[in-house]
Amino acid sequence: MEAGVRLGAGVSKWEIREKIWDYMEANNLADFPRPVHHRIPNFKGSHKACHAIGELEVFRRTSEVKVDPDKPLEGVRLVTLQARKTLLVPTPRLRTGLFNKIVPPPGATKEILRICATSQGVKNYSVPIGLDAKVQVDLVVVGSVAVSEKGWRIGKGEGFADMEYAMMVSMGAVREDTLVVTIVHDCQVVDFAEELLDDHDLTVDYILTPTRTIKTGCKRPKPQGIIWHKVSYEMLERIPILKNLRYRENQAGKDVTLKDEHPDFPNARKAVESDKNAKTGNTKLQAESTSAQIGHCHDGNDSLSTKSGTRGALTTVYVGNIPPGTRVSELKTALREFHASPLRLTWQEAQCRAFLGYADKMTAESVVSSLKGLSLRGRSLRVEMAKNQRNKGQVEISGQRNKSE
């Protein structure tokens, strides 16, 4: 441990981060990108620390490895690819999903694998993994700002590594015995109190530095899933996949009360009211949709005639891969859960698809992002912008209950 990094009594998490970042910059231990402040810091010697993972027996036994996209973990991603293991990398800031699987081209050379391990390679050689994919992560590798030899970990303060792990628990991608490894510079290994940790904080089992391999023997339980009463509506909007997981857990009968809805939260909102007022950019659409009137068609489907004149040009979202036998009410319920009720819903049961009409392109694109990974009856739906914005001859259905259901 670097003697220069000294922590006083009663130090906070943020003070620890600042001391580590300042020390690395002042002693020229930091590497690109700089400055390292407010980042998982890259450091000189990171590749040496990363390559030490290949010596761990727990790594050799793995098949699927999840490695964070941080720059100092680039070497771990390379070692994983060279060992022909499945490499999963979280999507940046979890905006479009949870995982991307890195798929090098056939016959990839060492140089191509090196590119695949970079942030650009993750973009160019990856495919998204949906929530219904049978993912079983054998080893989790995360970056850290500070870590103790007891396994306590401090990230950069945004909580993404903790949330990613909790989400993996929720989707069954990790087991209780799944190990967590972190890669840091020696100066980042410091002693701090366990009291600084919260119940959502991730701990680590191994610490790899340029000079040491530390087995922490940490017994503190890792997150057991998403702690919904610590999730805010703002976080739900920033991480669309959280909406999908919340919907699933709600359907399974779990308590998914959000922080904003909790009685102890100042000006707490009731769940139903907060759903209506959530900042989705789609509140107006929901109000217009529920004002729709239904008329019965001769072919047994429902036709929409709205008071607000929404038969004009709408931006259309395509929903495919709907399980046979699914009722339109099931789709409408899911859309309401994700605050994605359309102005117009076109249901094509025989083709196992639907078309959703929204007022503008921005709203439609937001809906596509929010519904990534949505599933009905255990099948992931295909949700994307429709190629043809006007789908003639299709039956239109309002957001209200279909009389023929």
Q: List per-block mean pLDDT (blocks of 10 residues) for the chain, which spans 405 residues.
A: 67 92 95 92 96 95 93 95 92 71 89 91 83 85 96 88 87 89 96 90 96 95 88 81 85 87 58 40 34 28 35 82 89 82 90 90 82 79 76 40 34
| Cα 202 to Cα 68: distance, rounded to the nearest angstrom | 14
Are 99 and 176 members of one domain? yes
Residue 224 falls inside a structural domain: no
Classify residue 184: in a domain, yes or no. Answer: yes
Q: Give me the phi and psi of 362, to 5 degrees please.
A: -60, -45
Report in angstroms the alpha-carbon separations of 317 from 49, 240, 273, 320, 341.
46, 17, 26, 10, 12
Residue 173 backbone phi and psi in degrees, to 5: -85, -15
Judge whether 56 lies within some domain: yes
Are residues 271 and 349 located together in one domain of the fold? no
Residue 392 lies inside a defined structural domain of this protein: yes
**Looking at the domain assignment, is residue 220 inside a domain?**
no
For residues 289 and 180, state if they share a domain.
no
Q: Find the CATH number of the domain harbouring 124.
A: 3.40.50.10420
99 and 119 fall within a common domain: yes
Residue 39 inside a domain? The answer is yes
- 160, 194 contact by CB (below 8 A): no
Q: What gap in Å lies between CA 348 and CA 386, rounded to an integer?
A: 14
Same domain, 58 and 186: yes
Question: Would you state the pLDDT for residue 262?
Answer: 62
| In a shared domain, residues 173 and 61 | yes
Q: Is 223 part of any domain?
A: no
Pair 269, 383 in one domain = no
Pick the last residue of a domain from 163, 180, 215: 215
- 140: domain range? 13-215
| Predicted pLDDT of residue 61 | 93
Instruction: Give the total residue count for the chain.
Output: 405
Tally the domains of the chain.
Answer: 3
Query: Does residue 235 sit in the same domain as residue 127?
Result: no
Helix, strand, coil % in the chain, rounded to nearest 5: 35, 20, 50
Q: What is the pLDDT of residue 25?
A: 95
